[in-house]
Each structure stands twice: as C-alpha cells, then as structure tokens.
Amino acid sequence: MLFPLVDENPTRRPPVVTIGLIAINTLLLLATVGFSSVAHNRLFIEYGFVPERLTSAITTHENVVVDLRDLLGNDPRSREVLEQSKVDTRMVLSGNLPAVAMTVFTSMFLHAGFMHLIGNMWFLWIFGNNVEDRLGHVPFLLFYLVGGVFAALTHWSATTGVGAMLPTVGASGAVAVVLGAYAVTYPKAQIRCLLFIFVIFLFVDLPAVAVLGIWMAGQIIEGFGALHLDIDGGVAWWAHIGGFVFGMAVMPLLTLLIPDTTYQSVLTQERSFQFDPRKHDNFRY
C-alpha cells in the first residue's frame, strides 16, 4: 500500500479555495456527529446522489421509493432502533430533474465518517494547492465542481441493480479530478510516500506520475471487478475513474486558455517530461 504524505512542489498563491473546500466538508461532517445511523441514512438518501433517481427523472419522471432497511445492511443495532421507533422506513424521493441534479452537488460535501473525510481531504490538500495555483481560484473551483459532476455521471452510467438504489456521498470523484490534473501537469514532481509492505514501513520518494498511476490502476481493477460481480463494496470506483480521466483530459485545455506566470511556466516545465535544465539555470524557488 502506498500513501502520499507531501509533495515537493512549491506554490506562490495561497490555496484559498482548497482550504475553503476542506473547511466546508469538515464543518458539514461535524454538524452531523450527533446523528443516529437512521438519521444519517435519511440525510444521505435525501442529499446523496442516487443513480436510480436520476434515471427515473430522465425517463419516467416518477418518484423513487427507497427503503432505509436496505441501507442498514447487517447492522442489528440500527435495525432494532428502526423497528422500535415505528417510523415509516420508506422514503419517497422526487423525480423532478432539477431536484435530482442538485443532489449531484450536495453529495460532494457529505461524508460517511471521519476516515472517509480525512482520506479525501488529505489528497485534496496535497494535490489541490498546485492545481489551484496554476489555474487560479475561480477557474479551479469551477473545474472541481464540473469535474465532480462528470465523475457522478460516470458512476451513474456504470451502476445497475441494487447499487443504483444506494446513495453515493463524498468528495472522492471531484478529488480524483484534481489528481488527474496534477498527474498530467506535474508528472515529475516528487511525492514523499509511506510504503506498507506487510509489517514493514518505508518512506519513498516517487514521481507523481508513478504514485497517481498506481492509484488509478487500483481504481480500474476494482471498478471492473465491481462490474463483473455486480457489487461495489460501498465505493464509487467509476466516479474515481471518470473524475481522473476528466482531470487529465480537461486540464491541458485549461492551461492553454489560462495564461500562467513565468514562475508557473518554468515550474510546470521542470516537473514535466519536456524540461531542459540548461535553459533555466537561474530558476530558483
């Protein structure tokens, strides 16, 4: 297992959007700390992205009925609480397309727990500041949100059966957009990683293209495995894949449209595969 810790890739502009996204996601999770498992599931169903709900909104325009008991799985305590409360376990979700479209955005800011949040925000912090530095604050925010929508739609297109009735929450699809953008912009940037080999822990420095390539390979393996077995294990693998591909494809186009500073131009070249150090002997950061 490879876990990135820090990148050797300086920035000039403060990553205010990256910090803001981390703060919003964290505050929203803290606001739900006292929720019961039933309340959490109701929140996720209402504001998470349910693929079947989008399908219904596009085709039949009918409401979708989701049963809370299907989401509680084998959690006996939560099932007991649900039965004792004598509440209606069914939730009727609107089939109105604008309402469904809004959940694509709201789902990006909901997380199932602190480990879910920390994993996503850690990757966003390491890689987001450089992408924001290159694009600028507003373009980066739009890139993040639009890419997150594309990631959700990729998940929707690849999800069938029972999985289509389960809500998807988390920023991982949008964060994957940032990872794809970083991989194609700074492939040679060094990433300090913690490498787990059974009980052995090692610190290694690897180029971003290797670290993110390994990450993407894992998503593809898991994604096709989920398609073959018709299960997803609770992870939106295809949202990650779609987001990463979106980031890799769109970031080069944005860099053509958005002028960069001399500093950013040289920095990007130095951490790409076209860099010629003889042309930039005086470059320092």
Task: Residue 136: give the domain boundaries.
Answer: 2-33+109-273
Residue 130 lies in a domain: yes
Q: Looking at residue 83, what is its pLDDT?
A: 54
Q: Looking at residue 232, what is its pLDDT?
A: 54
Q: Looking at residue 245, what is its pLDDT?
A: 98
Residue 128 lies in a domain: yes
Single out the residue of 218, 212, 248, 245 nearest to residue 233, CA to CA. 218
Question: Residue 205 has what DSSP assignment?
Answer: E
Q: Considering Cα of 208, then 209, then 214, then 217, what sign does the dihedral take?
A: positive
Q: Looking at residue 3, what is its pLDDT?
A: 92
Question: Residue 94 has what DSSP assignment?
Answer: P
Residue 77 lies in a domain: no
- Rounded Cα distance between 236 and 44, Å, is 14
Question: Residue 235 has what DSSP assignment?
Answer: -
- Rounded Cα distance between 108 and 115, Å, is 16
Q: Looking at residue 281, what is its pLDDT?
A: 46
Q: Looking at residue 285, what is its pLDDT?
A: 39
Q: How many domains does the chain have?
A: 1
Task: Give Dmax (Cα) for the chain.
Answer: 74
Residues in the chain predicted with pLDDT less than 50, given as ranges, are 81-82, 85, 275-285
- Rounded Cα distance between 126 and 51, Å, is 30
Residue 173 lies in a domain: yes
Task: At 95, list the tokens.
Answer: 């089939």
Burial 62-87 (b: 16+ CB within 10 A, else e): eebebebeebbeeeeebbeebeeeee
Residue 278 lies in a domain: no
Q: Looking at residue 156, what is its pLDDT?
A: 92
Residue 284 lies in a domain: no
pTM, two decimal places? 0.84
User: Is 185:270 a contact under the CB 8 Å cutoff?
Assistant: no
Write down how long the chain is.
Answer: 285
Three-class SS of residue 149? Answer: helix
Amino acid at 1: M
Within 56-145, strands assigned E span 64-67, 90-93
Element (H, E) at 6: strand 2-8
Question: Tens digits of per-residue pLDDT, 248-267?
Answer: 999 999 999 988 765 566 66
Residue 232 lies in a domain: yes
Question: Tens digits of per-residue pLDDT, 116-136?
Answer: 999 999 999 999 999 999 999
Q: Considering Cα of 180, then 181, then 184, then 185, what sign does the dihedral take?
A: negative
